Amino acid sequence: MGETSNPLNRRRLTRAAIIGGGMGLGGVLAFLLLWVGLGSAGVDQFPRLIMSVCLPPALIALIFGVYFLFFQPKKPD
C-alpha cells in the first residue's frame, strides 16, 4: 500500500507527443505547400484557402486510419 503505481507510461507519452508534434508540423507544412502551389497554379483565393485548410487534416486522418486499421499491434486476449 505504500507504493503507488503510475498509470501513465512515460515512454508512451513521449512517443505520442513526438508523433503529435510531427503531425502538427506536417499539417502546417502541407498548408503552406498547398497555399504556395495552388497560388502559383493560378487558383483563385477562396478555393485556394478552402483546399489548403481542408486537405491537411484529411491527410492526417487518412494516415491515422490506415495505421489503426492495418499496422496497430493486436492486443493479446
Res. 2: pLDDT tops 60 = no
Output 5 or 50, whichever has higher pLDDT. Answer: 50
* CA distances (Å), origin 42, targets 5, 12, 30, 31, 48: 59, 44, 18, 16, 9
Long-range residue pairs from 21-27, CB within 8 A, at least 24 positions apart, any chain: 23/60, 23/63, 26/56, 26/60, 27/56, 27/57, 27/59, 27/60
Q: Nine-digit cell at 47?
A: 478555393
Over residues 4-22, the mean pLDDT reads 85
Decide if pLDDT at 1 tops 70. no
**Domain regions of the chain by residue span:** 35-69
Cell for 37?
502551389
pLDDT value at residue 57 = 94
> Using the 8-state DSSP alphabet, how is residue 71 labeled?
I
Q: What is the pLDDT of residues 23-73, one digit of tens each?
A: 999 999 999 999 999 999 999 999 999 999 999 999 999 998 998 888 877
